[in-house]
Chain A
Amino acid sequence: MFMFEKALVGSRRYWIWVGFLLGVILFGFHAYVREHELGLMITGLSQDVPWGLDIAQFAFFVGLGASAVVLVLPYYLHNWKAFSKVTVLGEILGMVAVFMAMLFIFVCMGQPWRVLNVLLYPHPNSLIFWDLSVLSGYVLINAVITVTVLSAERDGVAPPRWIKYVILLSIPWAISIHTVTAFIFSGLAGRSYFMTAILAPRFLASAFTSGSALLILLVLLLRRLGVFDVGPEAVPKLTGIVTYCMLVNVFFIVVELFTAFYSRIPEETESFKYLFVGLDGTTNWVPVMWLSILLAVASLVVFLVPRWRTHPRLLPLACAFAFVSVWLEKGFAWIVAGFTPSPLGVVTPYRPTWPEWSVVLGIWALGTLMLTVFYKIAAAVKTTAEAGYVTAITKDAVYPGRVA
C-alpha cells in the first residue's frame, strides 16, 4: 500500500538510522508516560506559564508545514521548472511537520484521552476547533497529493487532472493553517504581547524562512548521501526565497519593537524587556533571544553577499543559522513572553524540564523517521521513473481493473 515496500529495502546505514530513531521515539514516549502518571507537574509549566515549549514547538512546526507553499506556489502557479523535482519533498515535509505540530498539541493536554471532545462537542467559537480542522485537512490534502503524484510517476503516466485542483487548494490552505494558528494567540484581550495584528504575517515570514532553510539543508543532505538529486537550479532559487523571507522576518520584529518602545506603553514593552534584557531579575531568556538575533543577522550577511551564498560550505551554515534563529525565537522563547508578566504582574520563570525535552526529542525523532521513510519512497519512485524503464507501459496496462 502507498508504495511502502520501497521503504523496506535499504542499506545497513539506513537500518541503523531507523533503529536509532526508533530508540529515541521510545525514550520520548517513556518520558510522556511518566509526565502523565505524575500529572503535568514535572514539565516545568506553572499556573502563570500554562503553555510552554510544546506549544511553541507546535507553532514552529505548523510554520514548517505551511512553508511547503514556497515550492508549490512557484512550481504550479508560475511553472518554475527548477522546482520540478524538489516540490514533492516540500509537500512531504509539510505533511510531516503538521502531523508533528498536532502531536505537540496532544502531548500538552491534561486529559489526552478526552481530546476527541473537540470533535464530539465542536465549539466553533474556539480557534482550537478551527485549528484542528485545518491542520488535519492539510495533512490529508498533502497526503493525497503526494500519493497521487508519486503513483502516477511510478506508473509512468500523467497524474489525474483533478489533482490539479487539490494542489491549487493546498496553497491558500497552507496560508490558512498558520493564520489560524496565529489567531489562537492574537485574539486574546488580556495578553498584549500576543494581541498584535502582525502576528499572523510574522508567523508566515518566520515559517517561510525556517522552511526554505530546512529544505535547502535537506536537499544538500540528500544529494550528499547520494539518495536523490533535485537538479542544480533548485538550491539557488530557494536561497533567493530564504533571503527575502529572513529580511521580512527581521523587518517584522523591528516593527513590533518600534510600536512597543516608541509608545512606551508598559503592557507592550514589558514582555519584550523580559526577552531582551530581563524583567524583575529573571534573565534566563536573554541569551536565547540575543543568540537568535545574532544568528539571524549572521545568516543574512551570508545570504546577501553573492559570493558567500553560493559557497558550498557557507550556504548550509547560513541555512542552519536561519533555522536555529527562528527555532530559538518562535519555537522556544516567544511563548513565555506572552505570559510574562502574568495578569497579576508576577514574573514566573519557566524552564522546560528534562522529561519535557525528552518528549520534544521523541516527537522530533518520529518526524525525522517519517521524513526518512517518505523521502526514501519518493526518491525511489523518482529515480526509477527517471531511468525510464516504466515510462513505456501504457495506461491500460497499469490500471487493468479500470477499463471494465
Chain B
Amino acid sequence: MKITRKQFLKLGAGSLVALSGATAVAERAAGDRASPEKSNAASARRQYAMVIDTRKCLQRPGCTQCMEACHQAHNVPYINNPDHKIDWIWKAPFQNVFESYDSPYIQITLKNEPVLVLCNHCDKPPCVRVCPTGATWKRKEDGIVTMDWHRCIGCKYCIVACPYGARSFNFTDPRPYIKHLNPNFPTRHEGVVEKCDFCAERLAGDKPPVCVETCPVKAITFGDVNDPSSDVRKLLGAGLTLRRRPQLGTGPNIYYIV
C-alpha cells in the first residue's frame, strides 16, 4: 500500500487525538478511586483541624509572632508590594472575614479588629477540584490540602477557585526576599502557587504546627477533628464556633471562637 505524505500526517494527527483521549479516560478511572470526597467518607481517617480563639488573640493587638514563625519556617518571602505579597497565615478585619456576622452595632472589640486567617484545609476543597494537573490534593491520611511545587504550571485556577483567598502566587523569584533561609524546608521559584500546609513536615516528626507552638497566649488549638477525645473536639463541643463561608459547602476545618 502506498501512503502519501499528506495521508501519513493526517493519520498521525488522528492517532494523537485518540491517544490523548484514551489516557484521559484511564486517568479518570484512577482519579475516582482517590477522590477526596470518598476519602472523607471514611470517618476512621484523621482530619486535622484548628480552633482559633479570637478572644485570646485579641488580648495582644498587633502580635505577629505566629505569622513570623510560620513564614520563617517555610521560607515564605517578605515582599512588601501588597499585590505580590505571599502569605500562609495573616490577619484580616473581622467584618471582611465574617461578612455575614457583621452589623452596624457589632461589639466594639471586633469592629475592624484583625482575625487570623489561613488555608481552611476544606473537606471538599475547590482548589483541588479545579487544578488541571493534580499539583494540589487532599491527603487521604490526615485531610491536609497540600501541593507539589514541581508539578504546578502556575495557571492560578486554584487562586480563582479558593473562596478564602488563602493561596498566593509567586509573581517573581521569591529567593532574594527570604530573610532567614531555613535549610530544612524547600524554597519555591517564580510562577508557582503556595499556601499553608498545616506544617505537614513537623507533624511527621510529631510536632504541632509552628503557629500553634509559637502563640504566646495559646490561642490556637490543633488536632484531629475525627477523634472525639481530641482537644479541638472538646472545644467544638463546649460552645458556639464559627467557620468562614460554610454555606458554600466546602467544609472548612478552621473554627473560630469569638
Contact = CB atoms under 8 A, between A and B. Distances in A.
A244 to B, nearest CB: 33
Interface in B47-86: 82-86
Contacts of A122: 20, 23-24, 27-28
Contacts of B20: 119, 122, 133
Contact of A343 (B27, B134, B164): B164
B77 to A, nearest CB: 11
B13 interface: yes
B155 A133 contact: no
Interface stretch (A7-15, A42-50, A284-292, A370-378): A42-50
Contacts of B4: 401
Interface in B239-258: 245, 248-250
Nearest to A190: B163
A343 B156 CA distance: 15
B192 interface: yes
B163 A189 contact: yes
A111 B245 contact: no
A41 to B, nearest CB: 4
Contacts of B162: 190, 343
Given A122-B23, A122-B24, A117 B153 contact: yes
Contact of A38 (B156, B160, B163, B172): B172
Contacts of A121: 27, 133-134, 151
B129 interface: yes
A190 B130 CA distance: 13
Most buried by B among A1, A111, A345: A111
Given A111-B152, A128-B132, A344 B96 contact: yes
A105 B35 CA distance: 27
Contact of B31 (A109, A124, A137): A124
Interface in B75-124: 82-86, 92-93, 95-97, 99, 117
Contacts, number: 168
A108 B157 CA distance: 11
B141 interface: no
A110 B249 contact: no
Contacts of A126: 129-132, 157
A404 interface: yes
A142 to B, nearest CB: 13
B135 interface: yes
Given A41-B172, A110-B191, A50 B159 contact: yes
A189 B130 CA distance: 12
A40 B171 contact: yes
A120 B82 CA distance: 35
B161 interface: yes
A281 B95 CA distance: 19
A140 interface: yes
Nearest to B84: A41
Contact of B151 (A117, A190, A339): A117
13 contacts: A39-B171, A39-B172, A114-B133, A123-B133, A125-B31, A129-B24, A188-B160, A189-B249, A190-B126, A190-B248, A344-B165, A401-B2, A401-B4
Given A109-B191, A124-B31, 12 more contacts: A36-B191, A46-B171, A51-B156, A109-B153, A110-B191, A114-B152, A114-B153, A122-B28, A128-B155, A188-B161, A189-B248, A191-B163
Nearest 5 A/B pairs, CB to CB = A110-B154, A190-B163, A110-B191, A46-B83, A39-B172
